[in-house]
Amino acid sequence: MRIVTIVSLVGLCMISAMQAEDIIPGAEQTTLLRGTAEVNDGIRSVTGETDATGHGPITYYNVPFDEGTFSLSWTVKKEQSVAFVFDGKRNGKATHVLKVYVNGGPSRRCNENTLTLVTYDGSTRQKKKAKVVTHKHHADAGKWHEISVTFKGNQATIVADRKTFMVTSARLRESIEKCGIGHSLGTLQTKDVKIDKRT
């Protein structure tokens, strides 16, 4: 009986150690670049357009983690590409580790019926080097969509509206410093933003 009890306690301790810490980012952890934002009834609305640099509004959530999951629900009123950006801090400067585009990709020529995954193995500040992988997928404007991105080891698992996509990259082993969501025109709404940090 004692052996069973000890084994059970060890098992419970191991499960507790692997549990995630849920973080709902607060205002002090949230940064908006370009555009305007307001929050009503738990829904964050960001409005703006693409500027002269070619970038639209983006909200960053500054919650560093090594392994974990970033998730939220989102909607736009106008058809467009929505970007989910994950930055590390290699060499002390924020750099992209992964980008996930829903309804497009990094260039205007990208097909709007795709989910595009961009990783940055071998990329430096002087020389950008990206690997681009596309999958058939479309998220309609005017509807709420769910997305989660889970980082574990050298792999990221993306679940978009219950469809699963995976990508591997050596850079995915880096700590994620901030997670962002951006769009190019009109209003993007988000809710239920959460980061599950593996502890």
d(CA 181, CA 116): 14
Determine the pLDDT at residue 124: 56
Q: What is the pLDDT of residues 1-11, one digit of tens each?
A: 555 444 444 44
If you search the block for the tokens 């970033």, which residue do you land on? Answer: 70
Q: Which residues of the chain have pLDDT under 70?
A: 1-20, 91-92, 94, 107-110, 122-128, 199
Per-domain residue ranges for the chain? 20-198
Determine the pLDDT at residue 181: 95
Determine the pLDDT at residue 16: 44
**40-45-48 Cα angle (round to 5):** 150
Determine the pLDDT at residue 12: 44
Longest dimension (CA), the chain: 71
Determine the pLDDT at residue 4: 47
Domain covering 20-198, topology: Jelly Rolls (2.60.120)
If you search the block for the tokens 């307001």, which residue do you land on? Answer: 38
Residues in the chain, overall count: 199
Q: What is the pLDDT of residues 155-194, one digit of tens each?
A: 999 999 999 999 999 889 988 999 999 998 899 999 999 9
Overall pTM > 0.75:
yes
d(CA 85, CA 180): 5
